[in-house]
C-alpha cells in the first residue's frame, strides 16, 4: 500500500466535506464531520485559506470552498485539449475542417 501523508489526507477530507455545503461550515461542524479535534481542523483550515482553496465568511465565520479547485481542473482540461476534441467530435469533423 502507498504511504499516506496524514495532513494531506485530512486536508482533502475537509475539502470534500465543504464541497457538500454551499453556505459553508464552522470549525466545530467540520471537526465533527471529519472526526478530528478542533485545533487540528483550525490549523488545516488556516493553511487551506492561505493557499486560497477555502475562504472564511467574515459575517458567519463559516468556511467554504473558493474556485481554486475549479481553476486547477480547468488547467488540466485545457492542457489535454479536451474542449477542442469534444467540440470537434460534436461537429463530426474529428478536428479537421
Give residue-wise pLDDT tens across range 32-87. Answer: 999 999 999 999 999 999 999 999 999 999 999 999 999 988 887 777 766 555 55
The answer to whether residues 59 and 72 belong to one domain is: no
Mean pLDDT of 14-32: 98
Residue 90 has pLDDT above 70, yes or no: no
74 and 30 together in one domain: no
Half-sphere exposure at residue 49, Cβ-oriented, CA atoms within 13 angstroms: 14
55 contacts 64 by C-beta, under 8 angstroms: yes
Q: Which pLDDT does position 51 carry in this prediction?
A: 98
pTM: 0.79
User: Does residue 59 share a domain with residue 76?
Assistant: no
Q: What is the pLDDT of residue 38?
A: 98
Range of the domain at 71: 67-97
**Dist CA 19 CA 8 (whole Å):** 17
Amino acid at each position: 500500500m502507498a504511504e499516506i501523508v496524514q495532513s494531506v489526507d485530512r486536508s482533502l477530507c475537509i475539502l470534500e466535506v465543504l464541497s457538500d455545503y454551499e453556505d459553508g461550515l464552522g470549525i466545530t461542524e467540520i471537526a465533527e464531520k471529519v472526526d478530528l479535534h478542533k485545533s487540528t481542523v483550525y490549523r488545516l483550515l488556516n493553511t487551506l485559506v492561505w493557499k486560497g482553496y477555502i475562504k472564511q465568511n467574515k459575517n458567519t465565520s463559516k468556511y467554504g470552498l473558493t474556485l481554486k479547485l475549479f481553476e486547477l481542473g480547468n488547467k488540466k482540461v485545457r492542457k489535454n485539449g479536451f474542449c477542442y476534441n469534444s467540440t470537434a467530435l460534436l461537429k463530426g469533423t474529428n478536428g479537421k475542417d
